[in-house]
A and B are shown apart, each in its own frame.
Chain A
Amino acid sequence: MAILTARQVTKRFGGLVAVNSFDVEIEEQSIHSIIGPNGAGKTTFFNCVTGFYRPEGGGIFLNSHSLVGLLPDRIVRLGIARTYQNIRLFPNLTAIENVLIGQHAHLKSRYLGIVLGLPSTRREEKAAVKEALRLLEFVNLAGQGDFLAKNLPYGDQRRLEIARALATRPQLLLLDEPTAGMNPRETQDTMDLIQHLRDELGITILLIEHQMRVVMGISEIVTVIDYGEKIAEGTPAEIQNNPTVIEAYLGRGSTAELAA
């Protein structure tokens, strides 16, 4: 069962075609990677899915619910969350506040309740804080809740972004280069976390990655995109041996890396 279906998605910026008739189907509860050279259109595609860009052509469906034309805040309520290539946390807010904002979509307190201090509002706030603390602990940031997001070390910031995305209670999580800038141990931890998200929480993961170790290590399906077009799709093993992919993206000398 496909949770996300993209059909012939096309995004143009003036004369530049960033995404060109891109088709992909993401299976429910799978870990699906999209790889490709820089500038291939991967992040642009993510932006189209989350409603930040409106594609010129094609359709995107979440469980057969059309997403094209919807505002981002509507799309997140449908169950899609994302992280960003160059981390976009709320820098001057604390870690726990960042996670609390992630919960915005499913909290219900309104103006009057807040001002009057109604018991339902108070209860909800308490529960929200508890949930936020739980999420922080889940991504190994327990005790760091009161640090300003911009003062956290890089690895922690990436994890905080994931916690914030999880706070929106997504069915589908879009991770844009989650292991960028990480050393091997941190990368392994992130890989474990991603698998845990899928295995324990049943979240479908769509991943943009450059580190082949991650892609080949945890993905079930890999889609390769170049110049906005899909050039290959298949299991990691199939992709590794695909000559088009090797030529366009993996490069001749990377056979040694693949063997690792």
Chain B
Amino acid sequence: MTQSRLVWQQAIKIGLIGGLAGLLLALVGMVQVFSQRYIISDVISMGHTLLFLTMLFTGYLAAQRTTWPGRRAVLLNSLVAGLTGGIPLALLVIVGSVVNLRLILIHASPELYELLTFGQGTLVGVLLLLAVSAFCGVLAGLFYLLPDLARRVLLAPLASVVVIGVLQDLVRTAIAAWGPLAVINEWLFAANGLTLQGAATIFILIAVVVYVRAKRGSEAQAKFHSLRPSTQRGLRMTGLFLLAVVLLILPQILGLFLSEVLTIVGLYILAGLGLNIVVGYAGLLDLGYVAFYAIGAYTLAILTSPELGFFSLSFWEALPFAIIMGVLSGVILGIPVLKMRGDYLAIVTLGFGEIIRLLVLSDALEPWLGGAQGIGLIPKPFIGGFELAGPQQIYYLILAGCLVVGFIAWRLRDSRLGRAWMAMREDEDVSEAMGINLVSTKLLAFATGAAFSALAGAIFASKLGSVYPHSFNLMYSINVLCLVIVGGIGSIPGVIVGSIALVGLPELLREFAEYRMLVYGAALVAMMLLRPEGLWPEAIHQRELHAEETESTAPAEVL
């Protein structure tokens, strides 16, 4: 008897937590704002999707934690959890129908209640809400009980439909650029969301792909590896070639706004690759990375802007100076922190970031650095006679920059210097005993990271046409650090994925900017709980963090 009581307790607890999460999302207004966008036009909005996902997840969690054996127990558990999850929201509606909660909870509005009750009025709506949440719970329980293949075949298509629904503008624009193929848009999309047939098409398509890959995937891989090496290389080269072509024509396909997003993401990738070396390879926790970004930007500004009038170099003439200033400042800021480790290093570098920001903001240096008004009239780069005026042109400059920097980072990793950095990161004293000169190795790390950041800063200044001291703040350092960590510390593809996830997505979902910090924070916490090694980790890191799960008999691949 007591055992079954414990079982219910577990389910109710999970249900309540899920329900409170849903309540939170409703009361901060997310559900309402999200409802403005429809995943499937006129059928289901993003807001409802958000609620359903919360309840589904609650049910899944309860199913996963069922200690009582047997399928019925799992389903009962998820049912109870789902039902309990609906209770906080139901209470909200009930109380709200009597008392005007709006005075305290701004978002507890009639529109919200309308959403929560599916437009059915208080009594019926609440019952409907509870039924729906219970149903979601059971669905999640059923999902949990399905075999692995079935789960994948269901999950991927559902996720794809939701993602395409959320990013409908991006997808629509991308397809529209393909001329004759634009008719696909009419099939897939209505005014505000996917059409039913569009959603169904995507679902079926992805389900088929996942199924085929699961069944035939290993065969295909084996076949690939059995081909002659030259054929393999040929195929790989073709793949890379296609990727290059896509990258080159991307701005033309995506249009102005999305190209702008690409340039922003690209600059973060550039800077991120630098910080990846400092933090990822060398293990030096640098929280003042924005200092080098600012130095690169301001150097370019001072050397090229007619507003200050000291120099009037062109972009290309000034760029080497900006990079050299980056290297110098990397060395200069690195010297005092040579003996510091860990937290102390972090705080001191954070201080440097702030020092630079205050210097460029100051009135004392205004005649040279522009003060609070910043520096304007920075010219754009010219290639031949052609000005790289808009985002679609600057994109290519940034792409070139990323390729160069990425190449350098890749080369450095499997080299004597890269190993020296990693040894230093693992054990400074022993690395010194192996002949690694700590001073020069650390300074090389700082200098390299600073150079990449200064390059990014210089392109940033030219792209914007002006620099303002307020853009160079601590948040920038933290953003770059976050995207390096979320992508996977020390991993080059990780920086790219991290930038897309943490910089690109918020830009694409601008209309939800109000909740950016909430989602950002939640995403970071979720990442650290579920996948601390990052989205695209270095192979080694992944093994390190999941050591308990995997047998250590399989040899590691050294990428």
Pair from one complex = yes
- A-side interface residues toward B, CB under 8 Å? 50, 52, 71-73, 76-77, 81-82, 84, 88, 90-94, 96-97, 100-102, 104-107, 109-111, 114-115, 117, 121, 125, 128, 146-148, 151, 164, 168
Which residues of chain B are within 8 angstroms of A71 by Cβ–Cβ distance?
432, 437
Which residues of chain A are within 8 angstroms of B432 by Cβ–Cβ distance?
71-73
From B362-370, B418-426, B464-472, B497-505, the one touching the partner chain is B418-426
- B417→A111 contact, CB < 8 A: yes
Shortest distance between the CB of A47 and any CB in chain B (Å): 10
Report 25 cross-chain contacts, Cβ distance below 8 Å, ordered by A residue.
Answer: A71-B432, A71-B437, A72-B433, A73-B434, A73-B435, A73-B436, A88-B429, A90-B427, A93-B426, A93-B540, A96-B558, A97-B558, A101-B419, A101-B423, A104-B435, A104-B436, A106-B435, A109-B416, A110-B417, A114-B412, A114-B415, A114-B417, A117-B411, A147-B552, A151-B547
Q: Does B555 contact A (CB under 8 A)?
A: yes
Which residues of chain B are within 8 angstroms of A117 by Cβ–Cβ distance?
411
Known: A148-B543, A151-B547. A77 touches B435 (CB 8 A): yes
Which residues of chain A are within 8 angstroms of B436 by Cβ–Cβ distance?
73, 101, 104
Q: Does B373 contact A (CB under 8 A)?
A: no
- B540→A104 contact, CB < 8 A: no
- B426's partner among A76, A91, A125, A147 (CB-CB below 8 A) is A91
Cα of A147 to Cα of B556 in the assembled complex, Å: 6
- A94→B433 contact, CB < 8 A: no
Within 418-459 of B, Cβ neighbours of A (below 8 Å) are at 418-420, 422-423, 426-427, 429-438, 444
- B552→A151 contact, CB < 8 A: yes
- B419's partner among A50, A82, A104, A121 (CB-CB below 8 A) is A104
- A147→B555 contact, CB < 8 A: yes
- B540→A148 contact, CB < 8 A: yes
Shortest distance between the CB of B407 and any CB in chain A (Å): 8
Which residues of chain A are within 8 angstroms of B541 by Cβ–Cβ distance?
92
> Contact flags (1/0) for B521-550 with A, using CB distance below 8 Å?
000000000000000000011011001000
Which residues of chain B are within 8 angstroms of A93 by Cβ–Cβ distance?
419, 422-423, 426, 540
- B434's partner among A109, A114, A115, A164 (CB-CB below 8 A) is A164
Shortest distance between the CB of B163 and any CB in chain A (Å): 34
Shortest distance between the CB of A97 and any CB in chain B (Å): 6
Q: Does B205 contact A (CB under 8 A)?
A: no
Q: Does B148 contact A (CB under 8 A)?
A: no
Cα of A81 to Cα of B414 in the assembled complex, Å: 24
Cα of A95 to Cα of B419 in the assembled complex, Å: 12
Which residues of chain A are within 8 angstroms of B547 by Cβ–Cβ distance?
151
Closest to B414 in A: A125
- A82's partner among B408, B416, B433, B540 (CB-CB below 8 A) is B433
Cα of A164 to Cα of B541 in the assembled complex, Å: 22
Beyond A82-B433, A115-B408, list 17 extra A-B contacts (CB 8 Å): A50-B433, A81-B433, A90-B422, A96-B558, A101-B423, A101-B436, A104-B435, A105-B434, A106-B435, A109-B415, A115-B412, A125-B414, A125-B416, A148-B552, A151-B552, A164-B434, A168-B434
Chain B interface size range: 35 or more
- B438→A73 contact, CB < 8 A: yes
Cα of A18 to Cα of B552 in the assembled complex, Å: 41
- A94→B556 contact, CB < 8 A: yes
Known: A93-B423, A147-B556, A148-B556. A76 touches B415 (CB 8 A): no
Cα of A91 to Cα of B416 in the assembled complex, Å: 18
Shortest distance between the CB of A85 and any CB in chain B (Å): 13
Which residues of chain B are within 8 angstroms of A147 by Cβ–Cβ distance?
552, 555-556
- B430→A102 contact, CB < 8 A: no
Q: Tally of A-B residue pairs with Cβ under 8 A?
A: 105
- A107→B416 contact, CB < 8 A: yes
Which residues of chain A are within 8 angstroms of B415 by Cβ–Cβ distance?
109, 114, 121, 125
Closest to B552 in A: A151
- B420's partner among A96, A101, A115 (CB-CB below 8 A) is A101
- B430→A76 contact, CB < 8 A: no
Within 395-421 of B, Cβ neighbours of A (below 8 Å) are at 408, 411-412, 414-420
- A146's partner among B414, B431, B555 (CB-CB below 8 A) is B555
Cα of A76 to Cα of B431 in the assembled complex, Å: 11
Shortest distance between the CB of A220 and any CB in chain B (Å): 26
- A88→B434 contact, CB < 8 A: no
Known: A101-B431, A104-B436. A90 touches B423 (CB 8 A): yes
Which residues of chain B are within 8 angstroms of A91 by Cβ–Cβ distance?
426
Cα of A94 to Cα of B543 in the assembled complex, Å: 11
Shortest distance between the CB of A114 and any CB in chain B (Å): 4
Shortest distance between the CB of A213 and any CB in chain B (Å): 29
- A88→B430 contact, CB < 8 A: yes
- B416→A92 contact, CB < 8 A: no
Cα of A128 to Cα of B415 in the assembled complex, Å: 11
Shortest distance between the CB of B488 and any CB in chain A (Å): 14
Cα of A105 to Cα of B426 in the assembled complex, Å: 18
Closest to B407 in A: A115
Cα of A105 to Cα of B416 in the assembled complex, Å: 10
Shortest distance between the CB of A146 and any CB in chain B (Å): 4
- A76→B434 contact, CB < 8 A: yes
Shortest distance between the CB of B486 and any CB in chain A (Å): 20
Within 249-304 of B, Cβ neighbours of A (below 8 Å) are at none
Shortest distance between the CB of A143 and any CB in chain B (Å): 8
Closest to A161 in B: B430
Which residues of chain B are within 8 angstroms of A104 by Cβ–Cβ distance?
416, 419-420, 423, 434-436
Shortest distance between the CB of B422 and any CB in chain A (Å): 6
Closest to A84 in B: B430
- A52→B419 contact, CB < 8 A: no
Cα of A106 to Cα of B436 in the assembled complex, Å: 10
Which residues of chain A are within 8 angstroms of B438 by Cβ–Cβ distance?
73
Which residues of chain B are within 8 angstroms of A128 by Cβ–Cβ distance?
416
Which residues of chain B are within 8 angstroms of A73 by Cβ–Cβ distance?
432-438
Cα of A106 to Cα of B416 in the assembled complex, Å: 11
| Most chain A CB neighbours (cut-off 10 Å) among B412, B434, B438, B541 | B434
- B540's partner among A92, A110, A164 (CB-CB below 8 A) is A92
Closest to B415 in A: A114
- A102→B552 contact, CB < 8 A: no
- B422→A52 contact, CB < 8 A: no
Lowest 5 A-B CB distances belong to which pairs?
A: A105-B435, A90-B426, A151-B552, A114-B415, A72-B432
Cα of A91 to Cα of B414 in the assembled complex, Å: 17
